[in-house]
């Protein structure tokens, strides 16, 4: 799948059609889908590895695929057999892309102030109304997992969201769904991160993934599997490190001990990222703390590596179109995404029982 060369063209706010066509035609989207639904049945360490490889070429595409995998993991974990057959087969057979729509204007990062509503209908479906922002893959994805309020307010402590919320599968081709623009971001500029609106959107009876207090919404479920945005940061860091070496080789700077020592420092940090990311999926049991820790450490260390590579490359690396500048901005954006690093720290502390 060809991504290099496309990544520098970030003005459209979304991947090019040729990239999306290649993505749909490859096995990437169906990688973690179980074989009985037409997928490749790969494990989550392999999924992280693929995300890292994509991030080396284009972190924007990698973040779309990461969130697609996160949605697939929720379908596998919480979907009924009928839902798994419908939605996972659509991924494996038709190349359908999933996105997640959690965030809203005025809502905090912990997703406890969601205003989008879901009202049960007589036929068993739901009517959804509301606006979502910072939806990665807006206008690119075919199906969206939308977080909405289903009942009376319940700000139960200790939850990332609340018990009165549900997750609903929204089909972008049905009436009542619209994409309301793509944001002009500093990093992840081709991730199609934007706004969607739901106005009288009527789901089918089988489109509610979770909608009861007996099954609380676990927004961070993919992290329990070890699926981590640290994998995206690792790909960014690897590309920045190798770019610094290539620049040094082209400029005959690798004979300079000072340059070599700087490259060594970048490499040692890169090795640390790789170790933390790999441990996130190879630890036994609930991997939530490891996955969120990997996201924080990897994204912040990737920023350091990108900045160090820019300093080695010189002033040209701070121009807007230089690959190292793009990588640096992508690493910065990653610290603010799903969930932002400050919230990751709080979630891990709470997960470990540190109050």
Confidence (pLDDT) at 3 = 59
pTM of the complete model: 0.90
The per-residue pLDDT for 285 is 81
Q: Identify the pLDDT of residue 5.
A: 46
Positive or negative, the CA dihedral 168, 171, 176, 180 is positive
CB 276 within 8 A of CB 254: no
Whether 217 contacts 150, CB under 8 Å: no
Q: Which of 255, 257, 266, 258 is nearest to 309 (CA)?
A: 266
What's the full length of the chain, in residues?
355
Consecutive sets of 10 residues in the chain, 355 residues long: mean pLDDT of each?
53 85 93 96 94 96 96 92 95 95 74 83 93 93 93 53 79 95 90 95 87 57 88 98 94 91 96 96 85 96 97 89 94 92 88 54
């Amino acid at each position: 799948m060809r991504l290099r060369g496309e990544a520098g063209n970030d003005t459209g706010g979304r991947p090019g059609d040729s990239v999306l066509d290649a993505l749909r035609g490859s096995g990437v989207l169906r990688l973690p889908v179980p074989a009985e639904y037409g997928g490749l049945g790969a494990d989550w360490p392999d999924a992280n590895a693929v995300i890292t490889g994509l991030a080396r070429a284009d972190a924007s595409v990698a973040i779309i695929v990461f969130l697609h995998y996160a949605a697939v993991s929720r379908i596998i974990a919480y979907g009924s057999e009928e839902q798994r057959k419908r939605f996972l087969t659509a991924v494996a057979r038709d190349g359908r892309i999933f996105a997640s729509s959690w965030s809203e204007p005025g809502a905090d990062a912990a997703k406890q102030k969601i205003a989008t509503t879901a009202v049960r209908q007589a036929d068993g479906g739901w009517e959804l109304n509301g606006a979502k922002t910072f939806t990665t893959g807006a206008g690119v994805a075919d199906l969206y997992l939308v977080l909405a309020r289903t009942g009376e307010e319940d700000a139960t402590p200790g939850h990332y969201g609340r018990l009165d919320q549900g997750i609903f599968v929204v089909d972008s081709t049905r009436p009542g769904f619209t994409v309301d623009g793509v944001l002009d971001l500093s990093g992840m500029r081709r991730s199609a991160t934007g706004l969607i609106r739901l106005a009288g959107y009527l789901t089918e009876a089988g489109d509610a993934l979770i909608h009861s207090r007996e099954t609380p919404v676990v927004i961070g479920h993919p992290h329990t599997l070890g699926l981590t945005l640290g994998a995206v940061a690792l790909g960014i860091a690897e590309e920045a490190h190798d770019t610094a070496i290539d620049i040094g080789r082209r400029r005959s700077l690798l004979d300079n001990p000072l340059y070599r020592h700087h490259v060594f420092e970048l490499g040692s940090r890169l090795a640390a990222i790789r170790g933390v990311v790999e441990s996130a999926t190879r630890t036994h049991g609930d991997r939530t703390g490891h996955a969120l820790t990997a996201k924080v450490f990897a994204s912040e260390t990737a920023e350091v590596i990108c900045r160090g590579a820019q300093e080695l490359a010189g002033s040209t690396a701070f121009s807007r179109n230089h690959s190292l500048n793009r990588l640096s901005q992508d690493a910065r954006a990653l610290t603010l995404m799903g969930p932002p690093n400050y919230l990751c720290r709080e979630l891990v502390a709470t997960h470990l029982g540190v109050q």
